[in-house]
Chain A
């Protein structure tokens, strides 16, 4: 897999201090990146001196955002070009090439957000910068980060691990109760995994915040672990972070927790096998990630659980005695110190139907698109078959459900304990 994996393991074996610390190798510097960018610039300068039309080769990836009829198979961006739009496009692209060149020469890393805010008038929107950068990288046969351009951090991490940065700073991911922003993986020199046994990626920031605040990564029944979220659809930085974490610690178990809807399954598939649009980016997938949920069975059993609770408890339970329902939930083997001693045992008396929403037309279309994607992959393996089956069930039932469908009045910890221990 990764060429430097062996080195890492060796390092790991010979580390005298702690085997929990793993060194993250620097990304192999793409010497060709600077060369390619300089070739582009030279071409433009030559054209100026010879009085020719200025051109930049430019191919677009299969981008869902690409507007129809907007030069679909554009191979060259010209200046002055035939239209004002093309001239503007050239200017924008040229600015990015220039910034990338500066960054490569100086060794600095710039964010796409910075590029945009320094040239708001030129780019008009962040999306324009994002597309241009990705397509430039694609055209040059490079990854986005080879251009020394990265996306601003979006992901969050929480758990008893430490990230040792190249400057020497140590980021304790355990400390802030709401989790911390993922540092860029290129800036991480070492990771101290301590006792972490698992890494859980959750789709929703809200779920992440709940888990981080309750210190779930420290007191899970499944042992200590790490929780990460990319706040929805994963960005490249989070995906690369996970890929590096996995390479550094192959036996760290990886799980994904997403909504029971087509979007959730698309997110899980992106972590696992990447996205079409950014298929040219390397080391950004974790095929080993396992699908923790939620599935149709979770949703349907949640409805049954609720049915039971309502039939057995609704008569006696009023809102006044809610506090008396709070009880010591986990007291066996004297582990109260490590595990939260109090978890509210109030049962949710919402109607189970509230957990489900009917699929929208867009959901149904997305589900069918995903099924087509899965069917057209070379190998329809067990994982793919399961996703296919869950998408079919979603369509049959015509329901979707958020992660919250399986929680217990906002507390998803007991459900997670059960799942993480079972796997």
Chain B
């Protein structure tokens, strides 16, 4: 059964250059772009106004920004094109401004440039990947590296780790690689749990389901592979009927774990019903590449008179716009 989504609002030209990454908190949305500032828009007001701008956050632009899914929404992390990681924090309630907490200089991450980042749900740990296939885990409060997962051979580095995710229960770390490999690590044991095959092409997005039972992975293959996390088995693929779909750049599960959102380089954002294995909605404003798609955490508040509490998502990319969608209900 298909679902209907409507454009709620578009923040035109939210950044002066293309937007590479989005990260929601319960009340706001971080967006990072090729320009030096990170912007934070409110998601609890109908016009999604700009709430704060982290000016000059990353001189050469910022390719990844992340927040904790299901977290309190007081910590965020961003990575600049020069390889520096910045940890941002908000102290003192909802009205408080975000401030730089601390920073990891590129030199402190030895062995390859830092690429993707993910925050644990308790906002205490940060996982970051490197161009030589490592995954480092940092303890944010202690400001030290507590774990490094190696994916390479003993003789050299591994394949570029393009994507990373942490399960909400904190038990698992997943990474997606240039080689097409997907690895899952057991954080308690501190070692690899599963090496998952099936995509064979660069994996640009990995995402654990909210219940931590499933892992979704996608990239240049244009299909979304679903893996079971109890046994590390490939349990299915989500594919569009078209012969050779575009590269997928971004994946995100909704809060119930029923739906998966995907964004791709042909500008299409799709909503998938995971249980049925079908695409239930496709949207595209333009053919401009999408770099990031994210569900907004479900809010108990009604955004505006006449608007429901329906789930919303945001898509952004080369168009520089932030496009907000919500499910059409009562139709």
Contacts and interface: CB of A to CB of B under 8 A. Distances in A.
Determine if chain A interacts with chain B.
yes
Interface in A359-378: 361, 364, 368, 371-372, 375
Contacts of B243: 307, 310-311
A392 interface: yes
A353 B20 contact: no
Contacts of B20: 392, 396
Contacts of B244: 307, 310-311
B164 to A, nearest CB: 15
Contact of A353 (B34, B83, B201): B201
A396 B17 contact: no
A358 B220 CA distance: 12
Contacts of A375: 59-60
B160 A358 contact: yes
A48 interface: no
Interface string B159-186: 0101000000000000000100000000
Contacts of A393: 18
B297 interface: no
Interface in A390-405: 392-393, 395-396, 398
B160 A396 contact: no
A368 B291 contact: no
A300 B265 contact: yes
A388 interface: yes
Contacts of A307: 243-244
B81 interface: yes
Interface in A115-144: none
Interface in B49-97: 59-61, 63, 81-83
B81 A371 contact: yes
Interface residues of A, number: 21
**Interface footprint category on B:** 20 to 34
Nearest to B266: A304
A398 B132 CA distance: 13
B24 interface: no
Given A358-B160, A385-B17, A368 B60 contact: yes
B210 interface: no
A336 interface: no
A32 interface: no
A213 interface: no
A151 to B, nearest CB: 34
A18 interface: no
Contacts of B83: 368
Given A368-B82, A375-B59, A389 B34 contact: yes
Contacts of B202: 358, 398
Contact of A398 (B81, B160, B289): B160
A368 B202 CA distance: 22
A32 to B, nearest CB: 42
Nearest to B17: A389
A389 B289 CA distance: 13
B123 interface: no
Contacts of B131: 361, 364
B132 to A, nearest CB: 8
Interface string B206-222: 00000000000000100
Contacts of A395: 63, 81
B60 A372 contact: yes
A358 B160 CA distance: 9
Given A311-B243, A311-B244, A392 B113 contact: no
Given A385-B17, A398-B160, A364 B113 contact: yes
A392 B81 contact: yes
6 contacts: A310-B244, A311-B243, A353-B201, A368-B81, A372-B60, A375-B60
Interface of A: 300, 304, 307, 310-311, 353, 358, 361, 364, 368, 371-372, 375, 385, 388-389, 392-393, 395-396, 398
* Minimum-distance CB pairs A-B, first 3: A311-B243, A307-B244, A392-B34
Given A375-B59, A388-B17, 6 more contacts: A307-B244, A310-B244, A388-B61, A392-B81, A396-B63, A398-B202
